[in-house]
Amino acid sequence: SGRFGHRFVGPASLLDAMQHELHAKVVQLLQSATTERDLGQRLRVLQQASDLLLHAETPPEIVRSCLEYFGNLQFDPQTSLRRYAAYFVGRVLFFKPSLVLRCLPIVAGLLGDTDGIVQELAAKAAIALHGRAMFALSLEVEALAYQQNIDYQQTIYNAMLRFLEHGSSEHPALFQLATRWARTVILTQTPSPLLLKVRVPADIRGVACLQDFPEKVTHHLDLNHMRQQAEQLFRFLCHLLEKPPQSTWQHWQLRTLLQCVGSIVRQRPSFFEVLLVCWRHLLQTMGVVEQHGGRSAGIAVGTGVSDPNVAAETKKLICTEAQRLLASSLAAERHADVKELLEIIGLLGSFEDVLVQSKYKQICGFLDEDTSERTAEPRAKRFRKGDSRRMWASIGVGGGMDSTLADEDSFDGDALLSGEADLVCRRFEDYFGLPSQREPAGHVPGPALLASRVGTHSELARIALTSLNSLAVKRSILRDRAHERVVAFGDAFLRGPSSSNACNPIMAKRDPTTNGSANDFELFLTEKLSMLEDRVSGNAEVSRDPRSLFARQPRAAPQQAIETVADVAAPIDSPEDESTMLADSAITTLPTESASRDSLQLQLFDEVLAAHRRMERSPLYTVLSAKQTASFDRVSRQVALHLATGVKTLSKPNLQRSMCKAFMLDSFEALKAALSIAANGKIATAPPAFDGSSGEGAARIALGKLVELFFAKFTTDVARWQEVTSHERRPALALVATTPLRDILEGVRGGERHRIQFTYAELFEMFIAEFERSQLPKRELRSFLNEIPVVPVSAFKMLEAHCLVSTTRKMALLTVLSLIECKPSCRWHCLRLLFRLAYSGGDDSSIRFDTIRLIINKVYSAGPHSPMRWQLPHLEDDEAKQLLGEGLLEAGAGWEISDDDFVPLQKLRGRCVEDVATMMLRSMAPKSAEFAFPLKVPLRVEQLRGELFKAIICAAKDRVWLYLALCIKRPVLLHELVETFTKCDQDMKEHLVNSIEEALKYIPASEPELLVLVQKASPETERLIIKVLHILVQTSQGKEGLSKEYGDAVTRLYSITQNPRLLVPVFDLLERKHILDFLPAVMQLDIEEVTAAFQQLIRSRAPTLSISELLTELHHMNNPTENIVPVKCSMQALNVVFGMRDQFDAKVYGIVIQALVEEAGPLPTLFMRTVIQVVKELPRLCDFIVMQILPRLVRQEVWGDENMWRGFMIVLQHTFSGQSGGAARVLAMLPMSQLEDVLVQHPDWKAQLREYIARQPAGAVAPHVRQLLQ
């Protein structure tokens, strides 16, 4: 912890640092354990991490961050690691109960492990988990989280029931733990008949009964259902006693079950009737066994046969549990039934004799167990198989923190009628730091605490006289670690005075009537003790060091010092003693040395602060009204501020620096304490504020003290400068105009900063250093900067440094935004800072983009301000005049900032941001570039641009992002971006083309400025316009499409550039005539662009050219006499349309083919190719092709064109098998020579042709057909 002078820094920041160090050490240990190959060493490292995590001072947040690591050990193939995971979870449940719900899935998973020891440890954890988990679930409000945790609870429930049902013969301890778990569940989910005296809250130890649940539980939790579940579980245990799953129980199993149900009934008498029926059935069965005899390895409690000796042992076990029940005061109403049951077993005698015997036996059992525990040898880590002893036992008082893991009935009604065991309660109190419920030792009465702070006999006597009843303490009431004075009062001294000297600790030794002595108290004083020792030793000279007056004497001889005081006490208190008066006057003489005087003043200042703190902690505070305490607080603060920032102190920079530091440390302590209250919702070490507020209210008050310090320093420095320079006599307005505030507060003279005096800026640096050291929330810094009179330049440097770090950037940027909105004098500095960050160089681009997002979303406003002339380079003067008007056109030529320190918020949000972004955009072009209109910006804006280039600036390509973001909110700025595009080199143009999408995808396609951008396009901007059109088409899909005006604008530009790529994005917006004219050019583009153009046409809701017309036009591009475009381009275009056939009705192809066949003249070159595609890919049109198209082709003598004939035969081949009748009809129409060639090539067609001819009349078929078939 840091230290200034003799003042100590508060523990809050030290505690945070220790927690960070602890977390780092735990992480290091876990990393070491992960890489460790040796299993033993790995377990030792894990144990070291566990000890750190489960320490009482370790916050649960640190344990939560590491819990997943230990939970994942359940999946490790090493059995030892899985065992350790189960052991660790059990410890977490005891020591960090707030993490119980996070332990649920881990315990549920560990219970399903195949290793027996893992299951035992997990069962142990399940016992500790249930009560704590039920308390946490009672407060869970989220339905999904509640149901998930209930599912984990059910998994644990089912696993433990399996252990009970199967008996766990191979793992005796597992069966015992399962019965303990069942008992815990039943007790937790049923009401207790006792009035609990709660010493350990339920959120730490878990609920022990239904009364432990909070008064208001979440609606998800049904307490009635929980009670019914507990009752069913108890009946299940009784059922296991009567009818075990394997027909027999081993002796230890039966004993465990009997002890379990007996313990439950002793604490919950409502189950007595069920247990009584069960025991009677068991005794009846045992009687049958004893009568008939039999041999068995175990005890038969069902229909089996058992050894009579074993049956007798069973009766003894029932007898023991019945006697315990009889000794319990909670079962007094059913003592008669228990007595009857004992008579059945054979325990006879009067009720009083049986009752006394039962209680005596119980006491002897406790004593024997305690004696064996004290005298027994140390236990092994694991018990032998078959041993019914517990896995762990209580280590005893002082045995370590693991003592809370004892298997004793810590909250059994048999232990204490209060419902809690005293030993375990003490351990919980010690570990969790709870207030002790035992003897009220350590509680210091308020007057005694106050008495320990005073330094004069009169004040001490007055307090003692008015607080005799509360000061009778048998032991020392205060031992302060800060080396303050300690006072201890004895009973003899406080019984009553016989004279006025009784209340004087010095005279009490001499007055025998007070029965007081020096042994009854020890009083370690400061200044008077030092002075008296000087007198005794004969040293009449007073020390020149003022601090020596307050020096503490050694503790080695306190008695001798008191005796010395006693010998000379009377002269000191007697006003007639001249020597005393001389000594007092010597002490009160101020030192002459400057350093000593400053030191004394600093001591006085510290005493003022200490008096204020003492008042906050004194009992007097509780009896004062709110108005009185507020007045005291105000006066104390004004006195401290007067001493620290007064004009006289101003002439001593070192003294003022020390006083301001002390005042600041005191305020920071109060601020940290208040924030702790607000964050944790609990009482911190510091008292509440004087106005009775706590939490956030107290934090505002503490922060207000610091603000007052800065206001006091501000007014003092300015007033001092005006006094020195004789400016105070000037008029107020002239005085304000001529006072250089920045130079005064920064300590600047002649352009250089001087460190001789203690300045306002240095005070701020002191504040920042303490703020960072205290690690306070950054939002408090935002409030502070908004309230102090002037924000120094160093504040913006600090904010800039915070913005460079990702973890503090958001808070720093929000602070800058707050200053822009709330502090007009800071606006220009904030704007400079934001632009330095938005255009900063370096590899971390997140700094630039985070700042740009803040500027666009929070700072910039596209409000109702008209554009400047340079923002409209696409308009001629006449057009701009029509748009803006004469006056606005002249105003748009330039603008100025009238005040050097003040920028109107509207100008800052709009014009400043736009102009700086425009200048940085133009810097992407070469320096020789000449723009249509120059930027006429204020001198300060131009200077800001120069500052940006003097600093580390980003690459030219990164200067476009802010401007693009501005274009989103104000699209009229796009025209300046287009002009800059025309002035850049080729590489920069490529970058702008690729970057403009980041803005356009957020601008609605209906924005009028986008249409103007296309309408005003030129050949120089053609490439950028193509990119803009493609983006607009993408963003308008599924929405309202682009207007037809885009088609007209592109048509105009195409007439100039003749670049068909312009037509692709707006192909569906062109007029029909233009589509037909431009179609050949579009067909010759790349296949991707052809596809995009046709896609626009097909998807259009109102296309100017239908799909059938498009296909027809594509076929007409090539015929035997003319090729308008290359055949391969037509084939590509037809393939593109055919690939989109699922987007339109396939019947279109039938219409197109029929129209082409019916046209006069030769068929298109690619006609038969399309027919073949249709036959292959569209089978449902095959009938139409065979019955309608092929006969027409025969009548047109298709064999006259070799290519057509070849295609004709391909179609016949594809359709003959499926349409043999229609194909035979087409064959019968062929002339003899063609038919003969076909039959030679395909002799297998003759059979189908004969069948067709046979069905036709004699004159319906040409004779040559029948002739060729003979």
Q: Please tell me the predicted confidence (pLDDT) of residue 887.
A: 55
Per-residue pLDDT reduced to its tens digit, 1032-1057: 888 887 777 788 899 999 999 999 99
Instruction: Quickly count: other Cβ atoms within 10 Å of residue 563's Cβ.
Output: 12
- Among 45, 3, 5, which Cα is nearest to 27's? 45
Tokens 């904010």: give the residue: 799
Per-residue pLDDT reduced to its tens digit, 648-677: 777 788 888 888 999 988 888 888 888 887
In this predicted model, which residue has the larger pLDDT, 613 or 420? Answer: 613
Q: Please tell me the predicted confidence (pLDDT) of residue 496.
A: 37
Q: Please tell me the predicted confidence (pLDDT) of residue 856.
A: 92
Cβ-Cβ contacts under 8 Å for 35 (sequence gap 6 or more): none
The runs of H, that is alpha helices, within 452-568 are 457-466, 491-494, 527-536, 558-567
- pLDDT confidence of 191, banded at 50, 70, 90? confident
Buried b (16+ CB within 10 A) or exposed e, 502-530: bbbbbbbbebeebbbebebbbbbbeebbb
Average pLDDT, stretch 3-7? 31
Flag whether pLDDT at 155 surpasses 50.
yes
In a 10 Å sphere around its CB, with 0-12 CB exposed, 13-18 middle and 19+ buried, how is residue 232 labelled? Answer: exposed
Per-residue pLDDT reduced to its tens digit, 843-889: 889 999 999 999 999 999 887 778 888 888 888 888 887 777 665 55
Per-residue pLDDT reduced to its tens digit, 710-730: 888 888 888 888 777 766 566
Average pLDDT, stretch 981-1000? 92
Per-residue pLDDT reduced to its tens digit, 1173-1231: 998 888 888 888 888 888 888 888 888 888 899 998 988 888 887 777 788 888 888 88
Per-residue pLDDT reduced to its tens digit, 405-450: 333 333 333 333 333 455 566 666 667 666 555 433 333 333 343 4
- pLDDT confidence of 259, banded at 50, 70, 90? confident
Element (H, E) at 243: none
Q: Please tell me the predicted confidence (pLDDT) of residue 434.
A: 66
Strands 748-749 and 1118-1119: unpaired
Radius of gyration, alpha carbons of the chain = 49
Q: Please tell me the predicted confidence (pLDDT) of residue 935.
A: 86
High-pLDDT (> 90) share of the chain, %:
19
Q: Please tell me the predicted confidence (pLDDT) of residue 774.
A: 86
Distance CA 780, CA 1099 (A): 58
Q: Please tell me the predicted confidence (pLDDT) of residue 1198.
A: 87
- Among 350, 200, 187, 147, which Cα is nearest to 270's? 187
Is the C-alpha dihedral spanning 11, 13, 19, 25 positive or negative?
negative
Average pLDDT, stretch 1020-1032? 91
Per-residue pLDDT reduced to its tens digit, 791-844: 988 899 999 999 999 988 999 999 999 998 888 888 888 989 999 999 998 888
Distance CA 86, CA 128 (A): 12
Per-residue pLDDT reduced to its tens digit, 898-948: 666 678 888 888 888 999 999 999 999 998 988 988 888 888 888 888 988
Per-residue pLDDT reduced to its tens digit, 444-484: 333 343 444 444 444 444 444 343 333 333 233 333 322 33
- Among 317, 312, 316, which Cα is nearest to 260's? 317
Average pLDDT, stretch 981-992? 93
- 310-314, 555-559, 629-633: which has the minimum mean pLDDT? 555-559
Distance CA 1037, CA 69 (A): 49
Average pLDDT, stretch 1230-1257? 86
Per-residue pLDDT reduced to its tens digit, 328-344: 766 666 777 777 777 77
Average pLDDT, the chain: 75
Per-residue pLDDT reduced to its tens digit, 305-331: 356 776 777 788 888 887 777 777 666
Per-residue pLDDT reduced to its tens digit, 1114-1143: 999 998 888 999 999 999 999 999 999 888
In this predicted model, which residue has the larger pLDDT, 201 or 1237? Answer: 1237
Query: What distance lies between CA 948 and its chain's CA centroid?
Result: 36
- Among 797, 804, 800, 798, which Cα is nearest to 846's? 804
- pLDDT confidence of 123, banded at 50, 70, 90? very high
Is the C-alpha dihedral spanning 60, 61, 63, 64 positive or negative?
positive
Instruction: Quickly count: other Cβ atoms within 10 Å of residue 666's Cβ.
Output: 22
Flag whether pLDDT at 393 surpasses 90.
no
Flag whether pLDDT at 301 surpasses 90.
no
Q: Please tell me the predicted confidence (pLDDT) of residue 1114.
A: 92
Flag whether pLDDT at 402 surpasses 80.
no
Distance CA 540, CA 589 (A): 14
Q: Please tell me the predicted confidence (pLDDT) of residue 303.
A: 35
Q: Please tell me the predicted confidence (pLDDT) of residue 500.
A: 36
